[in-house]
Amino acid sequence: MIASATLVLAAASVSPAGAASEGTITKSSSSFPLTKVIGKAVTVPPHGTSSGSVAVCPEGQTAISGGWYTWTYNIGITPVQFGQTYTNTPGDSWGVAFENPSNVPGQAGAVAYCTP
């Protein structure tokens, strides 16, 4: 017997210019309990230097997926490593490491999708 499941995520977006801030938590209205957490924006220095951001799930929840955002467009900030991380308990957060090949600094951050 093969079991199947469907995961329905609530659509959400992060806009530049301060529309989202660190620790912003959005709960989905679907039947699958899902919480979106916006991690702190970090400055990603120029010339290929790395910086990282972590979005931490509320206590008792696990990061099942995640992503990232940038607030500085068209300078080439790139996520080079990302995934589930360990802050307080295994799997409770989503981390992203960024590189910036440009000549100017930029802003970027992690996003976690969490569930109990």
For every one of its 116 residues, what pLDDT tens digit does the chain have, with 9 covering 90 and above?
A: 233 222 333 333 343 344 455 555 666 556 778 999 999 999 999 987 789 999 999 999 999 999 999 877 768 898 999 999 988 888 999 999 999 988 889 999 999 999 99
Answer yes or no: pTM beyond 0.85.
Answer: no
Closest CA to 51 of 111, 113, 108: 108
The C-alpha atoms of residue 46 and residue 43 are separated, in whole angstroms, by 9
Q: What is the pLDDT of residue 50?
A: 85
CA dist 36 → 4, 29, 62 (Å): 24, 12, 11
Ramachandran assignment for 59, one of left (phi > 0), alpha (psi -120 to 50 degrees), beta (any other): beta
Closest CA to 55 of 8, 14, 10: 14
